[in-house]
Amino acid sequence: MLKPFLAFVLGVYIGYYHRMDSFMHWYLVVFSFFVLQCLGFFKRKQTWGRLLFVFAFYSTWCLLGMWLTLRTMPSYQPSHFSNFVGKSLLVVVDDEPQLRGKMLRFPVVVKAVVSDTGKTRTVGKLMMTIGIDSVAMPKIQYGDMLHVTNNVKEVKKPSNPNEFNYRNYLATKDIWHQCFLASDEVIKIDVGKGNVILANALSFREQMMEKFSLYIEDDRALQLAVALIFGYRSEMDEQMVKAFTNTGTVHILSVSGLHVAMVFGILTLLLKWMGYFPYGRPLRSVLIVSAVWFYVVLTGMSPPILRAGIMITFFIVSFTVSRQQVTLNTLFASALFILLLFPKSLFDIGFQLSYLAVLGILLLQPLLKKLYLPTIRWWSWIVEYTYISIAAQLFTLPVILYYFGQFPTYFIPANLFIALPSTGIMYLGTLLALCPLEIINTYVGVVLEALLQFSVYGLAYLERLPYAVLDGIIWSQIQVVLAFLILIAMVCAWNYRYKKALFMAMACLLMFSVFGSLHYVQRSTYSGYRIYNVRSHLAIAQIKKGKAVLYTTFDSLSHSGSRFSILPDLCRFVPLEHIQYKKLVAEERQNHILSLGDKRILILETGLLDTLSDVDMVIWRKNNKNIIESVVEKLGRAPLFLFDGSNADRTIASIYSDTDSLDVPMYILKNNFAYVWDGE
């Protein structure tokens, strides 16, 4: 399955990044290559027939990947809602709403666009965000049909260098538009319009979560319990998630293979007696597969649990028909099956980490066991679990460093520590969910809460240890590719005693070192300036050869706006502890003069009374009442005028039209990319 999988992945990659929006004849192209494949098969006795079959076979998989990726994009869907104009929309809630502060966010399927002439049936999804009003806001659940105001806008690209690309994140879920609404712009008109199976599963999950809340009093323990057992993480405390992330155990929070395997193990044990009856084994397999997939649906059908469900299904079917399976083929078959249904899952970080971890375990863990495996049972269990952690961490490390730039130093002791508690939590949680006797549930709840608290406090202690996290690590895409080539080559050299693979690994390691050194020199010698787009706030940074000064209205570097929009860029050049933070007054209107290198920047928030000289840039803020012509006269020349997000749209439009005849350079920072320039 590896070769068709790689051909399909290539097609998905080409379709996603080279969209070819004007080409609309994919059915004809795929069918033509299928015909060529059939021709090659019938002429397979001749050399040209075999070559034609191979070429057409893999080309068909590649084209299929391109077509499945492109077909859900708005430009390929004539009935997509973005192609119609209307005052309102009829939408159906497509997932559980997530509450963040006073904002409710959830994806919806747009069923119709409503205009003065009537309703037009449409397709397509969008991300909806509603400001919560406790008085006027109806309770919204999966499957509800809503009548909403049409405030749809395209999802914007990142506004700052190295900022999280929310647009690409939503695109992997086939969402290209978003809508921000007040609570009075939403009317619930019907319920039960979603998938019946998923709706019932989510309703059952909500009942189980309410039951857990009766027996687990500690809020943090309850949050961890529903995350581990049901995959519900939306209400988890940020510090708790950080503790799992910084100790390399965040995979425990993602319901995946471990959880599905435990469900499989429990059911296999409970239904073992069925194998002694005629037709008992096939019936048992059907019951186990049904229960596994109910659990998959119950936990939200995320890529890790989908992969686990598909793999275990393949295993059960293979066992039932008494066929031996190749584990790697099962892995790639499950990945291909998921990508056939959801091709853009290829770009989902969770999907990538899930499959890389399993691939590492399958390839590397057997080789590590050959090195040393003790005969003492409990010691053997510890060593084997350590090997699993090392193998999974090594194969996910390049992706983790590329996306997150940090490495959890104590991932081995942390995973060994959490292994037994998480297993106990799963079994006790299952017992609490299924047991109808209140007296038993009371005692189970007490033990489960104690185990959950022990897990939380233990990981928090490991997180506080010195050098628990190595951050500020920057890898390029080339380094990620080279790292995987090194891993694969080393596994081949070790397993097959293949010298050429060892030489290839050494060559890749040399190239990796060269590219890493070049990138490090470029970053450490870089000098430049940034005026970040942080909406109504202000952030100006000077980067100079491994040092940085940040002038900002944020109250600290740990402010959410700073962590999201500024630090991902600055920390590529300077360690966090080396960033010099300087606070700018945000509450009152004040004018400031900043001298950054050879640049003088005037921050203009109130009336300009004095005559200034040598000003290179004016940052226009807070809808101040100055007149540009007068400011230019007092400055003695026309500097660059920059308008940030603290100005209203009408203010910017008015100034822009008034100065249209003047030769004044201007840059509208609001709703645009950050203003960046290089130099000392």
Calculate ∠ Cα 143-147-151, nearest 5°.
115
Tokens at 604, concatenated: 């203009």
37-63: average pLDDT: 85
Q: Give the whole-angstrom CA distance, residue 38 versus residue 568.
A: 52
Of 21-30, 135-144, 595-604, where does the model show the most confidence? 595-604
Nearest residue to 389 via CA among 507, 520, 248: 248
Calculate ∠ Cα 112-113-117, nearest 5°.
115
Alpha carbon 32 to chain centroid distance? 37
DSSP string of 65-106? HHHHHHTTSGGG-TTBGGGS--SEEEEEE-S--EEETTEEEE
pLDDT classification of 488: cutoffs 50, 70, 90 = very high
Q: Give the whole-angstrom CA distance, residue 541 versus residue 549.
A: 6
Position 300 pLDDT exceeds 70: no
Q: Give the whole-angstrom CA distance, residue 634 versus residue 260.
A: 71
Distance in Å from the first CA to the final CA of the chain: 54
Residues sharing a CB contact under 8 Å with residue 553, sequence separation 6 or more, in sequence order: 537, 538, 539, 583, 584, 585, 586
Nearest residue to 181 via CA among 85, 105, 100: 105
pLDDT classification of 646: cutoffs 50, 70, 90 = very high
Count of beta carbons in the 10 Å neighbourhood of residue 659: 17
Q: Which of 261-270, 477-486, 606-615 has the lowest mean pLDDT?
A: 261-270
Nearest residue to 312 via CA among 254, 273, 358, 275: 358
Position 323 pLDDT exceeds 60: no
Residues sharing a CB contact under 8 Å with residue 297, sequence separation 6 or more, in sequence order: 197, 198, 201
Position 311 pLDDT exceeds 80: no
H/E stretch holding 459 reads helix 438-464
Alpha carbon 246 to chain centroid distance? 17
Summarised one tens digit per residue, pLDDT across range 200-221 is 878 888 888 889 999 998 888 8
574-581: long-range contacts, CB 8 A cutoff, minimum separation 24: 574/543, 574/546, 574/547, 574/548, 575/472, 576/471, 576/472, 578/546, 578/547, 578/548, 579/548, 579/549, 579/550, 580/547, 580/548, 580/549, 580/550, 581/550, 581/552, 581/556, 581/557
What pLDDT was estimated at residue 612? 78
138-166: average pLDDT: 91
Determine the residue type at 577.
Answer: E
Position 546 pLDDT exceeds 80: yes
Q: Which of 16-30, 68-82, 260-274 has the lowest mean pLDDT?
A: 16-30
What pLDDT was estimated at residue 254? 65
Q: Looking at the chain, how many residues does it have?
A: 680
What pLDDT was estimated at residue 20? 62
650-679: average pLDDT: 86
Between residues 295 and 444, the one the model is more confident about: 444
What pLDDT was estimated at residue 208? 85
Position 21 pLDDT exceeds 60: no
pTM: 0.83
Rounded to the nearest integer, the mean pLDDT of the chain is 86
pLDDT classification of 257: cutoffs 50, 70, 90 = low
Position 401 pLDDT exceeds 70: yes
Summarised one tens digit per residue, pLDDT across range 420-462 is 788 788 888 888 888 888 899 999 999 999 999 999 899 889 9
Between residues 80 and 276, the one the model is more confident about: 80
Between residues 150 and 279, the one the model is more confident about: 150
Which of the 8 DSSP states describes residue 645?
T
pLDDT classification of 19: cutoffs 50, 70, 90 = low
Position 256 pLDDT exceeds 90: no
Share of the chain above pLDDT 70, in %: 95
**Secondary structure class of 422 (helix, strand, coil):** helix
Mark 293-328 as b/e (b = at least 16 C-beta within 10 Å): bebbbbbbbbbbbbbbbbbbbbebeeeeeeeeeeee
Nearest residue to 337 via CA among 649, 8, 100: 8
pLDDT classification of 302: cutoffs 50, 70, 90 = low
What pLDDT was estimated at residue 149? 93
What pLDDT was estimated at residue 379? 83
Q: Which of 271-285, 429-443, 476-490, 544-558 has the lowest mean pLDDT?
A: 271-285
Q: Give the whole-angstrom CA distance, residue 282 versus residue 225.
A: 34
Which of the 8 DSSP states describes residue 372?
-
Instruction: Name the phi and psi angles at 101, rounded to 5.
Output: 65, -120
Tokens at 420, concatenated: 């037994």
Count of beta carbons in the 10 Å neighbourhood of residue 222: 19
Torsion of CA 43, 46, 52, 54, to 10 degrees: 100
Nearest residue to 175 via CA among 153, 191, 159: 153
Residues sharing a CB contact under 8 Å with residue 522, sequence separation 6 or more, in sequence order: none
Partners of 406 in beta bridges: 471
pLDDT classification of 661: cutoffs 50, 70, 90 = low
Q: Give the whole-angstrom CA distance, residue 371 versus residue 495.
A: 12
Summarised one tens digit per residue, pLDDT across range 51-62 is 888 888 888 899
Between residues 51 and 254, the one the model is more confident about: 51
pLDDT classification of 110: cutoffs 50, 70, 90 = very high
**Secondary structure class of 679 (helix, strand, coil):** coil
Q: Give the whole-angstrom CA distance, residue 532 versus residue 538.
A: 7
Between residues 116 and 19, the one the model is more confident about: 116
What pLDDT was estimated at residue 322? 58
Alpha carbon 654 to chain centroid distance? 40
Between residues 250 and 498, the one the model is more confident about: 498
Tokens at 241, concatenated: 């998630």
Which alpha helices (DSSP H) does 84-218 contain, by range? 166-171, 196-215
Q: Give the whole-angstrom CA distance, residue 19 versus residue 56.
A: 22
Q: Give the whole-angstrom CA distance, residue 532 versus residue 475.
A: 23
DSSP string of 569-633? HHTTTS-GGGEEEEEPP-SS---EEEEETTEEEEEE-S---S---S--EEEE-TT----HHHHHH
pLDDT classification of 515: cutoffs 50, 70, 90 = very high
What pLDDT was estimated at residue 596? 85
* Helices 26-42 and 47-70, packing angle to 10 deg: 160
